[in-house]
Chains A and B, each alone.
Chain A
Amino acid sequence: NAGVTQTPKFQVLKTGQSMTLQCAQDMNHEYMSWYRQDPGMGLRLIHYSVGAGITDQGEVPNGYNVSRSTTEDFPLRLLSAAPSQTSVYFCASSRTSGSHSYEQYFGPGTRLTVT
């Protein structure tokens, strides 16, 4: 199993450009999520999905869109990049089962710089 994979590893954008960060998992996990990590702030939830066709906003959703057309893939779209979106982005996935908690598995991250 490859686990959770993310592409690209690094990206530099100019202000106003758009792009899509790719995330895929091969563990048949229903739950997938996107986080951003900034210095001194831990990880903050951007968007999450509990299954194909179902997405919802996290703590910091502004400027980002997601969709979930398959169980495996959960892309994150930046509509019009801003310098404030310079960050490291992590995708994660986990099992879901009612109120039971499961560990989330993280991808290797994408380091994004917006100039």
Chain B
Amino acid sequence: EDKVVQSPLSLVVHEGDTVTLNCSYEVTNFRSLLWYKQEKKAPTFLFMLTSSGIEKKSGRLSSILDKKELFSILNITATQTGDSAIYLCAVDIRVQGAQKLVFGQGTRLTINP
């Protein structure tokens, strides 16, 4: 059974702190790993990772993939209250050539001023 597990499930920090969110996976036919941010409504895309060891970066957010140990981390430095959201990790698995995303449970991040 394909499985994606995120930790922690919930995290509360103060503005300015640095946080690390974890995503581990056990899937057949891995193609890529994606991170999404979900505020009130639809998830919005952050990163797609396909190769081990190559960091993707966007402003204060960065992410890296380890395909040997089957995990990814999402780092957020100098956190702001606007970073409060649910962060979703998903793995793209291929079934008969079609993309299918398997999601983790999400990490609810709360940034207190």
Contact = CB atoms under 8 A, between A and B. Distances in A.
Nearest to B34: A103
Contacts of A40: 9, 105
Contact of A56 (B6, B44, B94, B98): B98
Nearest to B31: A101
Interface residues of A, number: 29
Interface of B is mostly: strand
Given A108-B41, A109-B42, A43 B94 contact: no
B32 interface: yes
B27 interface: no
Interface of A: 4, 31, 33, 35, 40-45, 48, 50, 56, 58-59, 90, 94, 96, 98-99, 101-109
